[in-house]
Amino acid sequence: MDNQEFNLSSERAIFPFSLKDLLAIGFRYKRTAGLCFFGILTGVILAAIVQPAQYSATTKFLVGEGRVDPVVSTDAIAPTSTKAVSEEDLNSELELLHSSDVLRQVVIICGLDQEKHLRDHLLGMPTPERRIARATLQLGKDLQMAVVKKSNLIEVHYSSGDPQQAVQVLKALADAYLQKHVAVHSPPGQIEFFAQETERYRKNLADAETLLKQFSQQEDGVAPQVSRDITLQKLSEFNSTLQQTRAEIASTEQRIKTLEKQAGITPERLTTSSRQSDDAQVLQSLKGTLMSLELKRTELLTKYQPTYPLVQEVDKELAETKSAIATEESKPLKEQTTDRNPTYAWINEELAKAKAEDSGLQARATATQAIVAQYEAKSRDLAQKGLLEQDLQRTVKANEENYLLYLHKQEQARMSEALDRTRILNVAVAEQPVAPSLPSNSPVPIIFAGIFLASLVTVGAVAAQQYLDPSFRTPEEVSTELNIPVLAAVPHGKNSFGRNGNGLGVDRDFSTSATNSVSQVG
């Protein structure tokens, strides 16, 4: 008996309330428990039956890889890149979907701001802007948005008493969200920018082409570089001619010197024949005179002595005649035949030719030198004009490249905007909202929730009544609270659950009897 009481005391020290005690409390306050449980449950059931039907529509948005706009570059084909979807992208799209301007646009389209509330009748009709703001705030609370786990889907739920209105709200939300997505991810005014730049470079190209055309007309349609090349070729030819002429001049001058030297030592005429002969007439005349003188001397000697003056005079004439004859015989007549020297003539002819050729070469060299100087000046002028033409061509080419580049970029921007207008985006409606046929607020979950709430409130009410009840109900409570031994406990009566039935007998009036017995013991 002592061991049993000790074990019982040990168990109560560890567990203040046993199952028997809990059941005893429940049976003791069964009226309170019944009223609380069935009252709350009845109210919940009535609320579940009376509440208006709510229809929930669902739509889903698929966020794919971002369509990155082409990069501006000078390449004919702009490089493109793809962007993988990250958690930050999904959260950004979720916040964009829940943005106030998107919700405001949905409120205005669906007319959610026109719904009237009881407080409007009590406090007066608010301004339209206030109604829109209030409807926008309420729509943000009613929309349930979440990212589907391990996917690129954003799921949106909306509940309304009208299934068509739920679908209309989600469709308007999809349209407003896609428009907002296009506005956010598309740079504003890029078509206008590229159009302005294209027009500017088109004008620059036209101006540069006009300047190049005018420059070409000034040059008679011949490109300065081509003319310069031709001029340089001609200049090279004339330089060669000038050098050749100067070489010929030097050769001719040397030839003239040589010919002049040869002309100085070459006789002008040559003896072709030579013959010696006496002067027959003179000798014959002298001999005739000698004979006449001898005849005369002979005749005088016949008359006169040799010393006679006339004879001596004749002798003297004879001596002179003989002397003249001897002199004439000692100097015979020479007959020489001469002719023009052909070498001398050739030398003179060649010298004259060389001098004439030298004059011609000198004149040609002077003329060639003038032509060379002219071509040199022309080549320098054409080189300057060629540089100017190259500058104009570079300007035309640069403006043409920029014009084509911005024209290409303008077309890309136009295509990008067209794709955005047709909603070829990285965000698409994966699931269109469908008008629900069954309400989303079924009474069964509400009833189960009411049962749980009723049970919770019932347990709380019973526990509160048990805690606030100051009477003693068991001998253990007396010994615990008063710290005095209980000698005897006399039950007042037993109910149908007494010890004779199932051993769980509880005395509802034990508190009074126990108090009296305690008082007697004291």
In a domain, 162, yes or no: no
User: What's the pLDDT score for residue 275?
Assistant: 64
Residue 509, in any domain of the structure: yes
CA-closest candidate to residue 228, choices 391, 392, 388, 398: 388
Would the pLDDT of 506 be above 70?
no
pLDDT at 17: 57
**Is residue 502 a part of any domain in this protein?**
yes
Mean per-residue pLDDT over the chain, rounded: 75
Tell me what the mean pLDDT of segment 433-453 comes to. 75
CB proximity list for 62: less than 8 A, separation 6 or greater: 152, 153, 427, 428, 429, 430
pLDDT at residue 77 tops 70: no
Which has the minimum average pLDDT: 114-128, 209-223, 369-383, 494-508? 494-508
Integer Cα distance of 173 and 180 in angstroms: 10
Give residue 280's identity as a one-letter amino acid code: A
Query: For residue 9, what pLDDT band results from cuts at 50, 70 and 90?
Result: very low
**Averaged pLDDT for residues 280-290:** 77
pLDDT bin (cut points 50, 70, 90) of residue 310 is confident
Q: Which of 340, 367, 382 is the last residue of a domain?
A: 340
Range of the domain at 312: 269-340
* Ordered DSSP codes for 144-199: EEEEPTTSSEEEEEEEESSHHHHHHHHHHHHHHHHHHHHHHHS-TTHHHHHHHHHH
One-letter amino acid at 488 equals A
Q: Is residue 435 part of a domain?
A: no
pLDDT at 116: 65
Lowest mean pLDDT among 1-10, 141-150, 179-188, 434-443: 1-10
DSSP codes joined into one string, 422-443: TT-SSEEEEE-----SS-S--H
Residue 334 in this model has a pLDDT that exceeds 70: no
User: Could you give the C-alpha distances from 438 to 202, 359, 442, 479, in angstroms and in order?
Assistant: 64, 125, 9, 62
H or E stretch including 436?
none
Give the model's pLDDT for residue 213.
81
Q: What percent of the chain has pLDDT over 70?
A: 73
Three-state SS letters, 36-66:
HHHHHHHHHHHHHHHCCCCEEEEEEEEECCE
Residue 371 has pLDDT above 80, yes or no: yes
Instruction: Decide if 221 is inside a domain.
Output: no
Q: Does residue 403 lie within any of the structural domains?
A: no
> Rounded to an integer, what distance in angstroms lies between the CA atom of residue 101 and that of residue 106?
9
Domain-embedded: residue 25? no
What is the C-alpha to C-alpha distance for residues 412 and 310, in angstroms, rounded to an integer? 156
Asked if the model's pLDDT at residue 114 lies above 60, the reply is yes
Quote the pLDDT of residue 498: 41
CA distance 144 to 314: 188
> Token match 């010298």: residue?
351
**Binning pLDDT at 50, 70 and 90, where does residue 102 land?**
confident
Q: Which residue has the higher pLDDT, 49 or 96?
A: 96
Q: What is the pLDDT of residue 8?
A: 43
pLDDT reading at 514 higher than 50: no
Closest to 146 in 3D by CA, of 98, 185, 199 = 98
Give the range with max mean pLDDT: 71-80, 242-251, 378-387. Answer: 242-251
Total residues found in the chain within this entry: 522
Q: What is the pLDDT of residue 143?
A: 87
- Structure confidence by residue, pLDDT tens digits, 199-212: 888 888 888 888 87
Of the three residues 323, 340, 357, the one that is the final residue of a domain is 340
- Tell me what pLDDT residue 188 has: 64
**pLDDT on residue 12:** 47
What pLDDT band is residue 74 in, cutting at 50, 70 and 90? very low
The more confidently predicted of residues 52 and 372 is 372
Residues 6+ apart with CB under 8 A from 219: 227, 385
Q: Is 447 helix (H, G, I), strand (E, B) or coil?
A: helix
Residue 465 CB contacts under 8 Å (≥ 6 apart), including other chains = 29, 32
With a cut of 50, say whether residue 494 has pLDDT above it: no
Q: Which residue has the higher pLDDT, 162 or 24?
A: 162
Decide if 62 contacts 178 (C-beta within 8 A): no
Residue 494 lies in a domain: yes
Give residue 463's pLDDT.
78
Six token digits for residue 348: 């003179």
How confident is residue 420, by pLDDT bands cut at 50, 70 and 90?
low
Least trusted range by pLDDT, from 36-50, 252-266, 367-381, 394-408: 36-50
Q: Tell me the C-alpha distance between 458 and 38, whole Å.
A: 9
pLDDT of 56: 82
Which pLDDT value is given to residue 187?
A: 63
User: What is the total count of domains within the chain?
Assistant: 2
- Cβ atoms of 53 and 441 within 8 Å: the answer is yes
Q: What confidence category does residue 502 fall into, taking pLDDT thresholds of 50, 70 and 90? A: very low
Q: Which residues pair with 428 in a beta bridge?
A: 62
Q: Which tokens sit at 51? A: 């509440």
pLDDT of residue 119: 60
Most confident of 21-35, 51-65, 138-152: 138-152
Q: What percent of the chain has pLDDT over 90?
A: 1
What integer pLDDT is reported at residue 284 of this predicted model?
79
pTM above 0.75, yes or no: no
**d(C-alpha 474, C-alpha 518), whole Å:** 12
